[in-house]
Amino acid sequence: MPTKSLPCVLLGTALSICLPTLADTAVEHYGQLAVKGNQIVDRQAQPVSLAGPSLFWSNTGWGADKYYNAEVVNYIQEQWNAPIIRAAIGAGKNGGMLTHPEENIAKAEAVIDAATDQGMYVILDWHAHHAEDHPKDAIAFFQHFARKYGAQPNIIYEIYNEPLADTDWASVIKPYAEEVIAAIRAIDPDNLIIVGTQTWSQDVDKAADDPITGIDNIAYTLHFYAGTHKAELRQKAQYALDKGIALMVTEWGTVDANGDGAVDRQSTQKWLDFIKRNQLSHANWALNDKIEGASMLKNGTAADGAWSDDDLTESGLYVKSIVKNWSDIDYSGDE
Ligand code: MG
């Protein structure tokens, strides 16, 4: 944690008093986020770069839903100084929103409420690979959350995690996005909406060539896995930024694109340099204990957030150091 300075007030010529101050939470510090040109900015129109973890699929019965609770969110704020967390709410597949809506909504709300209490931003992600097949479900989902939380500055809507490689931007993804965005904007006029892009959210160049227009505070999803994706994908991202769209890395991994394999520190560092240079925000996949390289927690780790570094995997320890050292700002809100 950075050292907090004490503000001092001069009283007359010789006497001054220094008072302890409250650290701002992330939301107190930055306020309502917006998109300005190709950047996500704070209430002062200054670029914002936030780092945090993404939870794993919330689907009932998949084993990661137990981590959707306040104790885990509190741990991430207090021990990692994270200003943001992502809730990856399973849309389709077994145990997701289409079959278990109440359970998944309750998990999302548990994370959003805890993040709100901690003054953190929270990405509400419709975690799908075929969202265009059921847009009405996505609309009902986001309208529920826009009604309940849209007046708060900390909710970020991510409306389509990862469209597949053969799901066309112009004819499928963009029309889906415009329909869902219109439904959100009918309720919440301003909070950030992050739009997934073709090829597991890598083809940000296609979105840059044919962006959504006429709506404020739209950014686009860029995903990478350091073991698989290298300079070629960064060039694509740079092209998109240069064309003028804003990007958010709502999901990235230190390992291979299948979520497994070894931690690639050399490639990760190149990505972090790119992210830092362009002042992007990012969320690492995944805060979960599944036995695979991307998981931050060792298999069998309890869901109580009472964790030591001994509970973290190699990737978890690495990502903790990245998140904790990302900013000099103390987001604790503590005295
Ligand atoms: Mg709003």
- 103, 158, 162, 292: the active-site residue: 162
Between strands 155-158 and 282-287, the pairing is unpaired
In a domain? residue 15: no
Q: How far is the CA of 82 from the centre of ligand 1 (A)?
A: 22
Give 224's Cβ-side CA count (13 Å radius).
28
Quick one: which of 120, 117, 177, 108 has its CA closest to 148?
A: 108
Q: Return the pLDDT at 200.
A: 98
| Under-50 pLDDT residues of the chain | 1-5
Residue with tokens 């986001």: 142
Instruction: Tell how far the Cα of 186 is from the centroid of ligand 1, in angstroms.
Output: 11
CA 334–ligand 1 middle distance (angstroms): 26
Q: What digits encode the pLDDT tens for the residues 263-290?
A: 999 999 999 999 999 999 999 999 999 9
Closest CA to 282 of 222, 233, 232, 216: 222
The verdict on whether 251 is a catalytic residue reads yes
Number of domains in the chain: 1
pLDDT at 307: 98
| SS3 labels along 241-293 | HHHCCCEEEEEEECCCCCCCCCCCHHHHHHHHHHHHHHCCCEEEEEECCCCCC
Is residue 196 in a domain? yes
Residue 229 lies in a domain: yes
Whether residue 144 is contained in a domain is answered as: yes
For residues 46 and 327, give the distance between their C-alpha atoms in angstroms, rounded to a whole number: 15
Cα–ligand 1 centroid distance for 318 (angstroms): 34
Q: Residue 37 Cα, ligand 1 centroid: separation in angstroms?
A: 20
- What is the model's pLDDT at position 13? 62
In a domain, 12, yes or no: no
In this predicted structure, what is the pLDDT of residue 3? 44
- Please report, for the chain, how many H helices and E strands are present, in that order: 10, 12
Identify residues whose C-beta is under 5 A from ligand 1, the ion.
150, 188, 190-191
Is 162 designated active site? Answer: yes
| Cα 29 from Cα 27, distance rounded (Å) | 5
Please tell me the distance between residue 190's alpha carbon and the centre of ligand 1 in angstroms: 5
**What are the structure tokens assigned to 311, written together?**
């509970």
Q: Is residue 302 domain-resident?
A: yes
Residue 258, C-beta contacts closer than 8 angstroms, at least 6 positions apart: none
16 domain residue, yes or no: no
Active-site residue (options: 103, 132, 158, 251) = 251
DSSP state of 210: S
Give the per-residue pLDDT at 22. 77
Q: Which domain holds residue 311?
A: 29-324
Residue at 86 is within a domain:
yes
> pTM for the complete prediction?
0.94
Distance 191 CA to ligand 1 centre (A): 5
Per-residue pLDDT reduced to its tens digit, 171-190: 999 999 999 999 999 999 99
CA dihedral 26, 31, 32, 38 (to 10 degrees): -70
128 SS3 class: coil
CATH classification of the domain holding 270 = 3.20.20.80
**pLDDT at residue 334, rounded to an integer:** 87
